Structure 1
């Protein structure tokens, strides 16, 4: 190719100097379209340039995993990457990814990891988009992606973006073959990366720590005052109120029921406490938990001090309205809500379980309490109420940590480095 380019430059120079015969000038003109076609074909192969990226997530739900997948697609597209999201037809993820400008295509997968026809359709979608790499954001779709690679696209790099922690060890033959088909595994926290090495046979050189990012700037915006945030949420509170808050979908793993029970006891000592719950049940998964939660709030006579708001596309408003943010999840893998609260400079009380233990440095960027232990939780709340200086310090240090580590720009940059290395 370099020789051809040199010949072209030689012909062009000779033509301009008048030393070439008219025939050569005419030939150069005729070859120009071919030259441009070849250059256009070769351009996507340049590893420094964004190439078409496909993202696979066949989920019909709408929780943190799906929301993070949609956000990531939008961020990468904004950075110049052609992005195709492959998901279920009519899913919330399909709608949100389309709103963010990504190409969205539908795929059904009836027989999971054994669905050869679906693997063939997936291969067609990937070829049609000119996909340079496939990123899988849901563990349940790994089997289909690997089947597609082995049967139809053996040279396609597969990247797994981990959102959930591993449960049981996965060192058997099936999982080993599946994971070794991956070009890269992106773990969001160092502790989760260690768990991957302990519970799988994934080669260590394919494992990378890439924290899931947040658009931190909007959470750190000091122009959005607490008073204005409460006004936007239609919260009319007594002046002495201390507002606790838990933001996230209404789910038995998120701990809203625990916080409501604890609040009933705490208000006997601290009547200024109110609670804001922001979220709604996971779509397509029923409302039994939410119904029981609402009934319990009524039974405890807390309807005047527990303020319920549905899902909001502007979560920064909810965090800025709080005095203290709570993460009470029984086993949160990562906890975007914790990072968002840190970015908003709110002191965070976190249950000492799952990824929350790693996200919060106890007594430096937050306070940890024993999971579902009302005494431990109550002691942490009481300490923050009695030590306003501690609340301010935790908020300040937590925000500094969040801005340095969990920016969505950093997630994209780290992912881009890995994508270019594996293609």
Structure 2
């Protein structure tokens, strides 16, 4: 049987070369359509393959009811062997040269749902959410703004992936409106803080790591164990209230400024689908401590794009184009470090990469950087300018790995800012 990543594979379903969802991808998500309850499906071109229909028909070898539920957690718990076997079987069923589904009109009508007719839901039950700070370019830019060029990186930054525990309760799926947060605000010249709507609302371009296997409390992980626990990846926007954060973050770090919303894409691209696009990340100097050293290429050549549309604009304008390959600390290192104290990891844990920026100005992954803390407003069509997000602004993030004649993409994560009531 051909490997599901074979670039020569073609599906009997017509898929454009520019589609995010060719047969080489097969990302998992949760959808509802035709008046039926949410269940698990796989994206293929402009359609969704209903895995519950295939499971009921005896076409997939998983635990009973695996795909009839509104989250991927039960499937992920079955382990990497089942993940790989299921993806290979789905690939076989969708192949152009395989008649099993292609020539079964009745099953095909039940199992294939046009994506335009479906509603997409949060793909996982989020057990816990941790956000990291792992782009050297981003951390340096922010450090220069607030501490000066000579003290841009804190002393610990080059020795471990820096992170904080966020809120799983406000992780939402793409398309969910984001209400402008409220909080304590204190301008530099004020004697005391006030309370009100955030005035410096920002996005953060990130990739989210979905943990598919647990680790026990007290257990450390090595590189191979951490990699095997990663089920897949999503696009992630960690919305940020910069003015709330500036007042609250000393001494314990982000809190309310990051707790109000984190948006993720509805499709989880599997680690296996991204395998052809792995590469080594930047050289790490000084060398990490032994438990953080990695031998494998744990970064990915993953193009990222951010577009902004105001309420007055007809189409969105690109404001950032960067790549996941620039990340200093890899997702595997983040997970290894997370568990190193003895922290138990759960199925459904979500790890945010941290803002992804690159070395060039157009590769800055937040408005804080793009506008240089408000000093350099970006100009948009129709004369609009932005330093931070205003009510009615829509933000769309996309990501993809470019193969030979196909792309493995994430779709998009979209959010529109609505005013505080």
TM-score (norm 1): 0.25
Higher strand share: 2
In terms of fraction of residues, the more helix-rich structure is 1
When Rg is computed on C-alpha atoms for both structures, the one with the higher figure is: 1
